[in-house]
Amino acid sequence: METITIKVGPKTFILDKTKAEEAFANKRVINGRESMFFNILPLKYQWAYDLYKTMKNNHWEPEDIPMQKDCEQWRDQTGQITEIDRWIVKMAIGYFSAAEGIVGDNIIHVVREVVTAPELKLVLGRHAHEENIHADSLVYMISSLGINPHECEAMFEDIPTIEKKANFVVSNSRGLRRKLDLTKLEDKQALAHNIFLFGQCMEGTQFYGLFGMVLSLYRQNKFPGIGQMFRYTLRDESNHIDLFRNLLLELVSENPDIWTPAFKEELRQLMVTAVTLEKEFIRDCLPVNGIGLSSKEFEQYIDFIADRRLRNCGLDPLTTDVVNPFPWLSEMMDLKKEQNFFEGRVTEYQKQGALEVVNDDEL
């Protein structure tokens, strides 16, 4: 046994170096060292801690974003704001007001519950916290515009395409609220399925139709406060997609028996379902085209995004050579500084020296 001896005054402390090294070596995504001690150091998953720091530096508060112009436009009767514009905003608020909570709930009660490395628990806790911020931003939008909150709840339950998108993920999450035996292949694959479903299918693909629509309105100087909050949300989501992709790849690296040809095809078919549901939802969001808003283009965008998610997880794409119809989206995501044109002050949500922007690959 190799030890380290430390003398402090009359006291001598002997530390078992071998035992500490064994504890580090036993860090795993799952089935690692079980301990109530939250010892983040020494780090095994450096990427997780780095991502946590980036996410923390991106912190934002909804109330810091003015909604005066949005309220004026919401009440506009001149025709500058169309019924399609208002419908997109209502659909965005109605869907995301509950969807953000579904993601956060799954992180806490499914994924973080079984992950054993402390630095992974740390970044997953930050992920869940950011879902709370997003949910809070939607409360701020609803109260600012004077939308009846019961109407949003009714939309989530009574619009079939929203209900189907919700059931697609909730049914899976509920099925894993049990004691998983992660020494068994079927349960390891069930966890990997859940991580791919929420990270790549839901947050990574099914959120992006409405993101694009709201930011298209923002690009036309419509609902600038809501658009700004969605830009910050999208920046957060790009980190969430990275987190769940890295988590999946680490899980597979440590448990290669998960990654069978049949399971890889299962994930591809999961994305097929996600894309089908999202395209149906897009057609409900845009029953008629608006200015700069075409349902066909948004459906093409979802194909583009879905294939990117698959490739980044080492899976074959569903289509070939699909082109991003919205290259302007990546241009909008430079969030180093935002000029608040109502009060003439600059809002910087990232600390000096720690500024990051969204990777264009995520858009």
Is 99 in contact with 207 (CB distance < 8 Å)?
Answer: yes
Residue 37: band (very low, low, confident or very high) from pLDDT cuts 50, 70, 90: low
**352: pLDDT strictly greater than 70:** no
**pLDDT reported for residue 335:** 47
Residue 350: band (very low, low, confident or very high) from pLDDT cuts 50, 70, 90: low
What DSSP line would sit under 61-124, residue for residue? Answer: -GGGS--HHHHHHHT--SSSS-HHHHHHHHHHHHHHHHHHHHHHHHIIIIIHHH---HHHHHHH
Structure tokens at 320: 């070939």
**pLDDT reported for residue 267:** 98
**211: pLDDT strictly greater than 80:** yes
Structural domain boundaries, residue 49 = 3-362
Residue 34: count of CB within 10 angstroms of its CB: 7
Least confident of 48-62, 142-156, 332-346: 332-346
Residue 156: band (very low, low, confident or very high) from pLDDT cuts 50, 70, 90: confident
**49: pLDDT strictly greater than 90:** yes
Residue 345: band (very low, low, confident or very high) from pLDDT cuts 50, 70, 90: very low
- Give the global pTM: 0.89
Mean pLDDT of 155-163: 89
Q: pLDDT tens for residues 218-260?
A: 999 999 999 999 999 999 999 999 999 999 999 999 999 999 9
Structure tokens at 362: 């995520």
Q: Which residues are catalytic?
A: 140
CATH number of the domain at 138, please: 1.10.620.20
**pLDDT reported for residue 333:** 57
Least confident of 90-99, 145-154, 220-229, 313-322: 145-154
What distance in Å separates the CA atoms of residue 88 and residue 279, rounded to the nearest whole number?
A: 15
- pLDDT: which is higher, 91 or 38: 91
Structure tokens at 284: 């409900």
3-state secondary structure of 6: strand
Helix (H) or strand (E) holding 16: strand 11-16
Residue 353: count of CB within 10 angstroms of its CB: 6
Contacts for 178 with CB less than 8 Å, ≥ 6 apart: none
Q: pLDDT tens for residues 260-318?
A: 999 999 999 999 999 999 999 999 999 988 777 899 999 999 999 999 999 999 999 99
Is 141 in contact with 226 (CB distance < 8 Å)?
Answer: yes
Return mean pLDDT, the chain: 89
Mean pLDDT of 22-50: 85
Count of domains forming the chain: 1
**pLDDT reported for residue 20:** 73
What distance in Å separates the CA atoms of residue 209 and residue 303, rounded to the nearest whole number?
A: 11
